[in-house]
Every structure is written in structure tokens, then in C-alpha cells.
Structure 1
Amino acid sequence: MIDVFLSASVPLPQRDRRFFETADILGIREAVKALVEVVLPIGSITCGGHPAITPLLALFVCEAGLGADGVTIYQSAFFAGQTPPEITDFVNVRVVPAVGNDRGASLTAMREEMVASRHFAAAVIIGGMEGVFEELDLFVRHNPTAAVLPLASTGAAAAVIHQKGNYDKQLARDLTFPSLFRRRLLPLRDTWSPKTYPGIRRYLMSKVFISYRRAEAPAFTARLYDHLELAFGEKALFRDIDNILAGKNADEQLESALKECAVLIVIIGEGWFEAISASGSTIHDEIDYVHMEIAKALELKIPIVPVLLYPASMPPRDKLPTQLRALAAYQAAIIRPEHGFDSDIRLLIERISAVANIDHVRYWQLIEDCRAIGLVTIKSSFDKDQTVLEEIQTTKDLLVVMNDGRSWVDTKRELLAQRATDLNKTTRIVLLHPESDFMHVLIRKNKKSLDVQRAEIKRSHDTLKSYKWHAGCFDLRGHHGFNPYSLILTDTYAFVSTYFFNESGQLPLFRYSRLAPNGLYHSIRDDAERLFNGAHPISDEHF
């Protein structure tokens, strides 16, 4: 992952003529295109909105077939109604409140928030006008160890910055922008660490801090937490009920957690203003924990995502305590507790991921994919799923495919003996034939000699044959291939455990259900039946 700040614009003739006259318009276009194609597949681009650059970004993101969620565009509310229509192509648009009617102050406020929004690995300067100089000064102040690449070949402000600074001369001559970015930006992915830049520690912690009142919608907060845990993992989340340690100063723990978090989630219900904490405080009291959490996040410039529990609305700025008034400028996410909850929570997760730059699992897609193939359980080993034992005991038809089967047969003696006495149950077992040409593969996997490996297959053979099976209820065969998995196939489930060539002890178990009409159970059964039908009976003479 790499985060790149882009400072770029196409100079206008009515502004400072030195920028317009030296700008290479085609070069600016090609440089922006190359940056999109090189960075977005493995990182993000953050920039200020510009009437010419925003449409270029939208065009090149579309042409490259990349997701627009990798681009974050900052706009000042001072220019409301003046943004290009392509701004709607981007999901991550940050609108920073204007500073009265002051154009310059509004732009500075927007730029300040933009360059401090994350810890950037590099700034790329393409073309540009006078605003680029301020952006660069702010950027260096907030990201002192980041690389700065002023592409002097694109002319305009980038050329001026390159000329006045101590920058590589190659940036003035190299017009092969894709190659340039790959050489200069991609290596930066491996150079970030808390040791080289202590300020990046908070970024690496990737904590999602949940600010809420326990007395207000506790069931909703717990439900929201469960979904965020699925998306980001338990270690990426912080809420006081789970993470505040007894016997230690709670205020210090909260402040420490906020300094390490990447985003603050503020849960706001209908009674948020009036809600009283366990200590008797409200949002208007500076000693109130929710008040302190929001104030500290604003002070540290931590991204904030207000989450409104429908039908709650965002608190008006003039009704918020002075320290918290900036909260009103943040765009809120709305969560409907019943109809629409699933779609709302997914949008929230995507937004948190984009704002905080935290990877996440689209678990809802994972669930759909698993449902489609009938995958209902994943366990670390056979022993972790009790359904295996229940199915062996109750299924009418049992088909087992193993290599030597030693461990499985040894641990299932009682169940197999019970099946042997039941006329209504059939048991078919396929092992690797002791005369198979693939015995050497099994020897390599298990790190055993040929004699030992054949002896283990014989042990399984002798144990299985020792039971008093009813005629037609048992069949033991040997196949001459190498089966890459262990399989227990019942009337309801297919239990599959894949082999590793390096001995790894217990192996993961995947359970597939017969109920999925197009699921893998049916393909696995067909494959196992073909293997069984092509196998040959095993007798003592084969050993």
C-alpha cells in the first residue's frame, strides 16, 4: 500500500502568465494518466479538486478499469456549485467548510486538512499555479520524511519548484512517466516503518475507535460492532467496554487509544444531545467521555465519521459545544436499524476503509460466494467439527477417500464397528494402493520409507477387515493415483481436508452441503464415485 498526494492543475491564461506560458498541457495529461495507472492498483491518490484535473482523473480511472474509491478529492465549500460534473464519479469527496467569504483563507483551510489527512509516502507535483507553492509548504510540514517529485517536464509551478529546490535533474528530462513513477514510487512501499517516521505509528495501528453512550441504543451499537469486527477484525476495533482495563486510569487509556486510531466513529441516536452518562454528564460537559473523545479527535485531526441511527439527524453547529462545533462539518452516515440495515452497514464499512485507509473484508460477498458453492464450515482440523462424527454415525451411505488412512481408522474404530453391525448402512473406503506408482509421492510427503508406508496402509486394511461387516455393506479398494485431499462423503455433507506436501500436522477442514443445487458437494461426489469405480480391491497379497 502507498498513499500519494497529488498537487496539480492546468494553468489558466488569465492568471499568472509565467505558469500558462511554460506549461506542457499534453505532458500534464500524460503524467496524471501514468500516476493513476501506477499508483491506484496498489495505493491511493489524494488531491484538491480542480476544473481540469478532476475530469482527467475520472477519465483515466475509467479507462484503466480501476475503482474510483482509491481517489480522495478535497473541495472547499467556498466553491459550492462550481465543481465539475465528474466530481460525482468519486465516492471519497471531502468538502471542507469555507472561512466566511475569504477565498484565500478557505483554500488554506482545505489544503491544511487535506495534507494532514493521512501520512503520505510522496507528493507528486504536476504543472500547477500559485496554489501549488502553499500546498507544498503545508505538505512538507505535515509529512517531513515523504518524497517530493516536482515534474519539471510538465512546466508551470512544478518547473519553478524544481529549479529552486535540490531535486533530481532527471525529473526535468524524463517524459516516460509510467517508468518514472514505478522507479520512484513503488520502492517507497517497503520503506515505511514506525522507526523511520514515528508519526506513522498511528497509521499502522489502523484502529477504528467507536464513540458511543452505553445507555443509548446498546443493542444497535453491539450489532454495529459485530459487523465492523467481521470487516476489519477484532484487533482493529476499540470500544471502552472491551478495551479499557480495570485498575488503570480510564482517561489515560482513552487518550492513548485515540492517538493510535485511524478514524473515530461517533454513534448518534435521537437522544444524543440529552443522553446522560453513568457519571451524570452530557455532551455539553467537558468531563463527559463522548465530549472528550470527539474534542481530542478534532485536536489530533483524526478523521471522523458520524453514524446516525435513523431517524436521528446531525446536530446543528450552533447547538454543539464550542469545542465540538467542527463536528457538524463532517458528512454523516445513516444506518437504518431494520429495512436497509445491510446495505447501510456495507456503505459505512467501505467509507471507513477509504477514510482511514484500512483494508477490510467484504464478508457479505464472502458469505454469498460460500453459499453459492455450499461451503458451510471451515475448521482448523477434522477434530474441530463434531458434525463429522455425527455424520459417520448416522449417514446411510459413507464414502471415505484417504491415502494411508492410518490415523483416521485408528481414531474411528468404535464408530466403524457400529456401522459394521447395521444392515441399512453401506461403507466404502478408498486408500492408496500399496502397489501404486504414486507411493513415492506419499513417501515424500510423510517422510517415511516405502516399507513403513506400506505397513501403515496394511494396518488400516487389517483393522477395517477385522470388523464383521454384513454382506454388501462394506467395500475396501485401492486407487493408483495420488489423491490431494482426504474426503468423508455422507448423504448430507462432503468433508474435505487438503494435503500439504510438507508435513504440517493437522490440516484445515472444509464442509460442503448437499443443499446448494450448484454447489461443490455434487462435483466432489461425482469425482469420488469415479475414483472409487476405477479403484481395485486390496488383498493381503498386495503387501
Structure 2
Amino acid sequence: MSMIMVSYRRVDQDTAGRIADHLIEKYGEKSVFFDVNSIRTGANFVDRIAKAIVACDIVIAVIGPHWIGKTDDGKPARLEDPADSVRFEIETALKHNKTLLPLLVNGATMPEAAELPESLRFLHFCNAARVDSGQDFRMHMTRLIDTINEVLNEAGRSPLRQVSPIKRYWKYGAGLAAAALALAVWTIGPAFEHTVVKSGGPDDQTTVGRTTPPAVPASVTQRAKAHDGFLFPDSDRRFLSEADLKDMSAIELRIARNEIFARHGRFFKDQVLANYFSQFAWYQPAAVEVPLSNLETTNVDTIEATEHEK
């Protein structure tokens, strides 16, 4: 399925959100990647965005008057920083040969080449479309949608399937969908707390055990609360060693292993795990299966091996 990603600066969030809503009305929720700001606390921002860009066919770069990110204190513009999120998104799209559609909003003009970092100077010479938020909005969006379908046709990709108009309920719609999915997982899903699902998919699983899981002692909870809700707050950034795990109890190892998945928003059928992680603000369940980085997969394997030794 073809997909569109909407890249934007937070200052232009309202306009970008309206553009994304219009695209969703035409193509459906699953065909539009938007709302980077909703990525939960603790998630690997770079990894999540990079995967979204690799999966998409078209990146729409929403360019507002403050897109460059100039400051009043004489410091370099935000776009000059290689770690700037908007710059990272555009450069990643280029790296993976994605079609980039510049979109000028809120009265913005295309930045001069001298204002852009070298890797993005090509943008100055691109024919950018304009989307006004006034009475011409729908006309401008119709032109953008025509361009999107033309690009897909030229690339030999099927145009995005249009669906019946829907209204996107940002908070409550997402909450109801999550609740429904959680209920389905609870009713018919496998015992996720006993199965380690890696990024390789359903065929890449390891069963740890089938015994009734013990409750989480208060001491474990207190230890996690002292580290922002994690036994290993950096298990997504460094490799865990045997020394890290050797003095941990079976329940501590179980929590440490599952918190790697919980960090990415995994639903848990087991009530012990669901209740445990739900007490922390960073836990935002959103999916039945979640992808892990190679580092995280290695840490899961390391913890699992230690569990088998207990």
C-alpha cells in the first residue's frame, strides 16, 4: 500500500494537521503518516521517523515562514543543525530516493539557496506548491492530490485508494481504537507476556515459559520509579551485560525484558504486566507487535538467556 508522510515544523502544526486531515479524508488513516509530536516519551525518535520514511512513497515538506528556524539571538538557524528533526526527515527522504513535494503554507516563500544547508539547497530550485488556509484551501488540496496521483502513476505505483470521507477525531478516536484493540487482544490474543516477539515477525519467537506469572513486588516498582519507570532506562541505547543481570530475580528479569517492548507501546494480555506498566506515564499501548532495533533484540536475548539459568 502506498503511503504519504507529512513533514512539518511544530510552529506550522495547525496547518499541517489540516492538510493531513484532508489527505486522510481522501485516502484513509493508514495511508498518511502524521503527528510526529504524538511519538510517546521514551521512543527512539530517529528510528521511528526513519522507518516511516522508508515505508512511504511521497514525503510532503510543509514549509512555513519559520521553517528555517531562525533565532533572534544570532545563533545558527535550527536547520543548520544536522540533528534538527525537519532536516533529518528531508535528508532521509533523499537518501532513500523518496519523492519530495515542497508545500508553501501561511504566506511562506521558498528559502534562498544561501539560507539552506548544502544538502538541502536543491529545494530552492524546486517548483513548490502553495496551500492557503483560506477559501482556496480545498482547491489547492485538490491540485496537490492530483499531483500525488500523477507521481505514483509515473513511478508505476498504484494510486492511493480513495475512501469515503471520514472525520479524524484526534484524541477520542485514537483512544477508542486503542481500547477496542486492547479488548480484542485480551479476548483472543496469545499470551504475549510469555512470547518474545522480535522484529523478524511471527516466525521469530521464543517461548520463555507457561507458568502463572508472579506479582511484581513493591521493591521492583520502587526501583523502577527511581529511574523514570524503568529497571534499565538505557536498554534501548546500550548493550546489557551479564554483570547487569546476574543479581536480578526472575521477576526483575521478566520486567526488564518486557519493558523493552513496553517502551515501544506494546499491548500486554497479562494483567500483571498491563497493570505494572500502566502506572508509568511513558507507557502508551498502541500495537500488538512492535519493532525492535538490533541492539534491543540483543538485549532481549541476553535477558532471556539469564532467565533460563534461574
Query: What band does the TM-score fall into relative to the shorter chain?
Result: 0.3 to 0.5
TM-score, normalization: structure 2? 0.46
Computing the radius of gyration over CA atoms, which structure comes out larger, 1 or 2? Answer: 1
- Which protein has the bigger strand share? 1
